Chains A and B, each alone.
Chain A
Amino acid sequence: MQEKFEPKIVGFLCRWCAYTGADLAGTSRIKYPPNINPIRVNCTGRVDPTLVLKALASGADGVLIGGCHPGDCHYTNGNIKTLRRFKLLQNMLDQFGIEKERVRLEWVSASEGERYARVVESMTEEIRNLGPLNWKRKEMEVIA
């Protein structure tokens, strides 16, 4: 039997909302697939698209950017700047053939542990259905 594919997801979580929300999910013992590797940043505004591409190019199957809801940003509107970059990045990733389900921007407040768990859960399932991205291996493959 083939081994079940376990997606690798890199999460960029802002420390004020999404990261705290993710902590809350744990503290509340809400269960969700352990497929996400959280990386804490002060604000999603720090998430240079380079980092997203780096994750995909290094073997991640998906990337989640988690920030505060619009209007709640600890730094006024860093999340809106992220949204601007994300929309353009998403269009470009689409052109690269990377499915929309693989890279998501989600607003998760510090009180939304349940929501965070459901976001990760749905993302994991969707990516599991899409299959591995395996960008690194493909790109290293000898020219066909």
Chain B
Amino acid sequence: MTSPKIAFNWASSCGGCEIAVLELGTKLVELKDKIDIVFWPVALDFKYSDLESMPDKNIDVTFFNGAIQNSENEHLAQLFRAKSKLLVAFGACAYMGGIPALANTKSKQQIFNSSYKETPTTDNPQNITPQTKFIVPEGELTIPKFYNTVKTLDQVVDVDYYVPGCPPVGSQIEKVVGTILSGELPPKGAILGASDKSLCHECKLEKTDRKVSKLVRTYETIPDPKRCLLEQGIICMGPATRGGCGAICLDANSPCRGCYGPLPNVIDQGAKMLSALASVFDAESEEDIRKLADSVVDPIGTFYRFGLARSLLRRTKE
């Protein structure tokens, strides 16, 4: 029997998902005899032409990380879809847009202005912004087109499975790889490598009085390491986020930021967390309620830090 062919790809993301795979360390070495890696940007030198020359469905499983933010990302998504039997959206970005999707709070123009013109460190006297084509004496240079709206992988191609996390935790990656290699495949569309209950289910912090009378940002306080952070006024996305990560952020006395995405019965993670949080505001009068609501700085960045592209509204209005 030949070893299954596995590919990894890195689209619009920080690369942390690939590092998370690398982090498997010696376990990766054990795996190397069982699998045949045919594409892996972070570790091995393959070219797009290698990929293009493969017959369709040649790859058994592609773990695709990163959101779709430019034409190159989309092209590769389509290419991998064609060449792979199974396409897995790997990590928060591919699954729900991730941090790159926060770009959806701005337009392409605003982003270009900010990055190429307005930041104090920019030295760009000619006000040049990226163009997809540029003529040089040697010929025409092209770069991919930057999209106005960041999308999830499944908003451009058909996806078989999803593995959430920013990045997915090592133990869960092992499990996912094991499941897929075992051949006992879960139903299409399944979320792999995560729990079906919220982070609160596995969080060890003590929950007593569900009331939030004041909100503080993490730098403003040193939380009591035993008590639920929400009750201490720190917005923790735990209640509205899938568990499975082992509540590692909370072990570091840091709130959950929601990278494992919404729970199975929930269609919009941010809306649910917003609702849960506001419901337990310890305020009765309109004035007190307004004060508390106003103290949530950057609601989109808080409630949709990883999930904006997969939310109901997906982006801001221009």
- A residues engaging B (CB < 8 A)? 48-50, 52-54, 56-57, 70, 77, 80-81, 83-85, 87-92, 95-98, 133, 135, 138-139, 143-144
- B residues engaging A (CB < 8 A)? 74, 105, 108, 147-149, 151, 266-268, 270-272, 274-275, 277-279, 281, 283-284, 286, 289-290, 292-294, 296, 298-300, 303, 311-318
Chain B residue nearest to A99 in the complex (CB): B317
- Across the interface, do B299 and A92 meet the contact criterion of CB distance under 8 Å? yes
- Across the interface, do A91 and B299 meet the contact criterion of CB distance under 8 Å? yes
- Given that A85-B274, A96-B300 are known contacts, is A91 also in contact with B293, CB under 8 Å in the complex? yes
Choose among B268, B296, B316 the residue that contacts A53 (Cβ–Cβ < 8 A).
Answer: B268
- Across the interface, do B312 and A98 meet the contact criterion of CB distance under 8 Å? no
Chain A residue nearest to B69 in the complex (CB): A143
- Across the interface, do A88 and B271 meet the contact criterion of CB distance under 8 Å? no
A53: B residues at CB distance < 8 A:
268, 271, 311-313
Q: State how many angstroms separate the Cβ of A36 from the closest Cβ of chain B.
A: 21
Cα A48 to Cα B267 with chains together (Å): 11
Cα A53 to Cα B274 with chains together (Å): 12
- Across the interface, do A84 and B315 meet the contact criterion of CB distance under 8 Å? no
Interface secondary structure of A, over-half rule: helix
Chain B residue nearest to A57 in the complex (CB): B312
8 of the cross-chain contacts (CB-CB < 8 Å) are: A56-B313, A84-B278, A84-B283, A84-B289, A87-B286, A88-B293, A91-B294, A139-B313
- Across the interface, do B318 and A88 meet the contact criterion of CB distance under 8 Å? no
B286: A residues at CB distance < 8 A:
70, 83, 87
- Given that A50-B268, A81-B279, A83-B286 are known contacts, is A88 also in contact with B316, CB under 8 Å in the complex? no
Q: State how many angstroms separate the Cβ of A73 from the closest Cβ of chain B.
A: 12
- Across the interface, do B313 and A135 meet the contact criterion of CB distance under 8 Å? yes
Cα A139 to Cα B310 with chains together (Å): 12
Choose among B266, B277, B278, B300 the residue that contacts A95 (Cβ–Cβ < 8 A).
Answer: B300
